[in-house]
Amino acid sequence: MKRTVRSSPYQVADLQSVASVPRPIYRKVVFINPFQVSRQGLEVVAPSSGAAAPVSATFVVGRGVRRHVNVGLAKEIGSPTCRLLREREEEEREQLADLWISLSASVATDSDILSNLPSAGKEQLKKLFLDRAPATLRKHVSGWRLWLAFCAAHGWQPGAPSLQEFLDFVTSLHEGSRGDRGSHRAISMQNVVSSLSFAAHKLQLTKLLHCLESPLIQVWRRSGKWSIQLGREAVPLPLNIVQRLEEALSTAPAEEHLLISVILLMVWASLRWSDAQRLRLSSVTFDGQHLKGFCWRTKSSAKGMTFGCCAGGCAGVGWGAIFFAEVEKLRSACPTRDYLLAHNGKPLSYIYSYAFPLDAVWWCMVCWLDS
């Protein structure tokens, strides 16, 4: 689906004359990143609207200057209420299942399941989607919505398209994914078709499944393999970064120990961010040499996994003991707590982490690697 590009009233050839052009609604940068950093002063200022938030980023970034990172962790320790992250995820899964049920209403007549259960309640149908992780349900929503919108625009039946109609959609997607740019770029074709497969399988949309299994569509799904380039992969950290982080634990203020030691935990135990966050605090043990624990759910395992790491590290600081002390503080406040980091009294979520708190993680590394 191609989008036409309209000329903007604000179009200018010379950026120097931008100041004289009336501006559209201005949204402060702090919505993207709560910290505004001025390079001149290298001073990090918390957003003015967040006065009640426990973000007291009064640190100054620069050589030889006192640096301080506080992402609200210390206040969370004393929080009397402690709601489990698992409960929050269950709630999110329920909400997403509700959303999927509402999105499936337009294909009810074409669905083998929905058409055979006209009197089924919403709660019964929700079970169709409750077996998937919230992230999976969330991921497929956008692709399915795109298909519904495309069908609505063309007057097609989303649950029973003809092969020609489906091929038109795939072709349009393919062009969009290559031609469009920026925020309006169409989602990649493979992801959208995967979303359609998910919905077709869950709702038993026979005709849609038939289209998806067609050799013609399968060819389209594999069409990118001849143009695949070397993937962008995460680059391992150099040894000196890890060493400096460990050394920072001996000089950092106490409120930053948790943040730094979580980074080290992720390094030494080879954990993803989401794995480390889903650590069951009651399971963490430390015998003086080894630190062990249990992540109750991970990206690759719904049943969770254990981890173990040498607590001594490579700088001789003994980061594991410091991490364990921080964990003990957290679980003394809330013995059932099942997550590590918090922000504004809530578990640091995977999505929200992009906006602010992980900035703080990296700022923390900036600060302490510099010391």
Partner 1 sequence: MLSHLTLFGGVWYAGLTPDMACTFTLHSLKCTVLAWALQLQVDAADRASQGHHKQPGVSGCVQKYGRDDVVGQLRCQSSVLDAIEQNWAPKIPLERGIRALQTPVSVRPSGSKYAVVEDSETESESSQGESSSVVTSDGEQSSECDDVDVVASELVEFEGPWIVNTVSGVGHRALSVDEDDSNWCLACRPGSVMHAGYEMRFDNPWFDGFRLCRHRGCC
Site for partner 1 in 47-106 (CB under 8 A): 61-63
Comparison of 22 and 78: residue with beta carbon closer to partner 1: 22
Euclidean distance between CA atoms 267 and 194, whole angstroms: 32
Comparison of 200 and 266: residue with beta carbon closer to partner 1: 266
303 touches partner 1 by CB under 8 A? no
Q: Could you count the other beta carbons within 10 Å of the beta carbon of residue 96?
A: 22
H or E element that contains 347: strand 346-347
Stretch that binds partner 1, among 4-12, 123-131, 202-210, 328-336 (CB under 8 A): 4-12
Q: Minimum CB separation from partner 1 for residue 51, in Å?
A: 18
Q: Minimum CB separation from partner 1 for residue 289, in Å?
A: 9
Q: Which of 2, 3, 32, 123 binds partner 1 (CB under 8 A)?
A: 32
Comparison of 83 and 139: residue with beta carbon closer to partner 1: 139
Q: Which of 241, 321, 325, 333 binds partner 1 (CB under 8 A)?
A: 241
Residues 6+ apart with CB under 8 A from 361: 259, 262, 263
270 touches partner 1 by CB under 8 A? yes
29 touches partner 1 by CB under 8 A? yes
35 touches partner 1 by CB under 8 A? yes
Name which of residues 310 to 339 contact partner 1 (CB under 8 A).
Answer: 310, 312-316
Asked if residue 288 lies in contact with residue 280, where contact means CB atoms within 8 angstroms, the answer is no
Q: Minimum CB separation from partner 1 for residue 62, in Å?
A: 8
233 touches partner 1 by CB under 8 A? yes
Query: Which amino acid would we find at residue 128?
Result: L
366 touches partner 1 by CB under 8 A? yes
11 touches partner 1 by CB under 8 A? yes
Comparison of 237 and 254: residue with beta carbon closer to partner 1: 237
Distances in Å between the Cα of 258 and the Cα atoms of 77, 143, 195, 317, 346 are 11, 38, 38, 15, 16
DSSP 3-state of 293: strand
Q: Minimum CB separation from partner 1 for residue 146, in Å?
A: 18
Q: Which of 269, 322, 327, 330 binds partner 1 (CB under 8 A)?
A: 269
DSSP 3-state of 124: helix
Stretch that binds partner 1, among 76-84, 110-118, 207-215, 235-243 (CB under 8 A): 235-243
What's the sign of the alpha-carbon dihedral 341, 346, 349, 351?
negative
Asked if residue 263 lies in contact with residue 70, where contact means CB atoms within 8 angstroms, the answer is no
Euclidean distance between CA atoms 30 and 36, whole angstroms: 7
Comparison of 205 and 364: residue with beta carbon closer to partner 1: 364
279 touches partner 1 by CB under 8 A? no
Asked if residue 8 lies in contact with residue 18, where contact means CB atoms within 8 angstroms, the answer is no
Q: Which tokens is 90 given?
A: 């269950």
Count of all residues that appear for the chain in the document: 371
Name which of residues 120 to 149 contact partner 1 (CB under 8 A).
Answer: none
DSSP 3-state of 364: helix
Query: Which DSSP state fits 145?
Result: H
Comparison of 292 and 346: residue with beta carbon closer to partner 1: 292
Name which of residues 152 to 181 contact partner 1 (CB under 8 A).
Answer: 181
Q: Which of 188, 243, 282, 283 binds partner 1 (CB under 8 A)?
A: 243
H or E element that contains 292: strand 290-295
H or E element that contains 307: strand 305-310
Stretch that binds partner 1, among 22-30, 75-83, 89-97, 102-110 (CB under 8 A): 22-30
Q: Could you count the other beta carbons within 10 Å of the beta carbon of residue 368?
A: 22
